[in-house]
Amino acid sequence: MNDLSAKSQQKPYFIEIAFDRDGQRIDNFLVSQLKGVPKSHIYRILRKGEVRVNKGRVKADYRLKAGDLVRIPPIRQTEKSIGHPGDNLLEQIDRSIIFEDKKLLAINKPPGIAVHGGSGISFGVIEALRVLRPEVPYFELVHRLDRDTSGCLLVAKKRSTLRQLHELFRTDQLQKHYLALVRGPWKEGKRKVDAPLQKNVLKSGERMVEVHPEGKEAVSYFEPVESYQSACLMRIILKTGRTHQIRVHAAHIGHPIAGDQKYGDPSFNRQMRALGLNRLFLHAAYLSFALPEIGEISLTAPLSEELNQVLQKLKSR
């Protein structure tokens, strides 16, 4: 299991921390997982030692590490049961599956769908998969994609597979390529962007990420695929996986991503919206890795018809 249902939890269970949760405070992690549970109760179970990490007690400011095993105690949640994912979401996820075996499942995640419920979203990919595959006892996200980002998303069906894939991420043995349409023109070839990133929370509660010398290491490689009059289609390869890394790095070097409402250029976004772009043009297009007993796996997630049409309109200008 990945997060709690809205019903009462009758017994403790365990969550293994994903690679991209590394560094998150345990209290913030629990808030995101325990929907409907008051923060005061979350801090109470932490103080009483009912939440354990690797079988030991931790304080609220403990920073999680990839691979940590978090014990969640029995909790009665206040949130009412809200049923199950709707047919439309289930159909979208079912159509989006691009690979599946006994250990692993991959989808070409549609934009606008969260990887899991929380933060005001009732259902996401994980909840839909549990309905679509009720016979599978274990689903865990290997990595994450922002809600507005589409493309390759890996979900482990076994804990051993999750650990193997986390190790591939940690040791840079997993190739992950994105496609993004950025404000142009681009006047150089392949470019390395090495700019540390730091998370901030505004007074409004909105989470923002910025380039900051005291932030965490973040490295991206930008390579032009096709240039247009006012934009450029880029291939982006990540060497680290920080929150909003591509979006912030693109804006930092003066080439914000089309459709980015948080870090982008409003004028450029309006131009692209006139061409039919109504979403963030960021897509996880390719994943390649090797696993024992499975071998080499290469996954390609094609661009949606909407994004392809935008590119065709740019070509015809």
| Active centre residues (catalytic) | 146
| Residue whose token pair is 């949640």 | 77
Element (H, E) at 223: strand 219-227
- The span from the CA of 44 to the CA of 225, in Å, is 52
Task: Determine contact, residues 96/109, Cβ cutoff 8 Å.
Answer: yes
DSSP secondary structure of 144-207:
---TT-EEEEEEESSHHHHHHHHHHHHTT-SEEEEEEEEES---SS-EEEE--EEEEE-TTS-E
Task: Determine contact, residues 174/287, Cβ cutoff 8 Å.
Answer: yes
From the centroid of its chain, how far is CA 146?
Answer: 4
- The span from the CA of 24 to the CA of 62, in Å, is 8
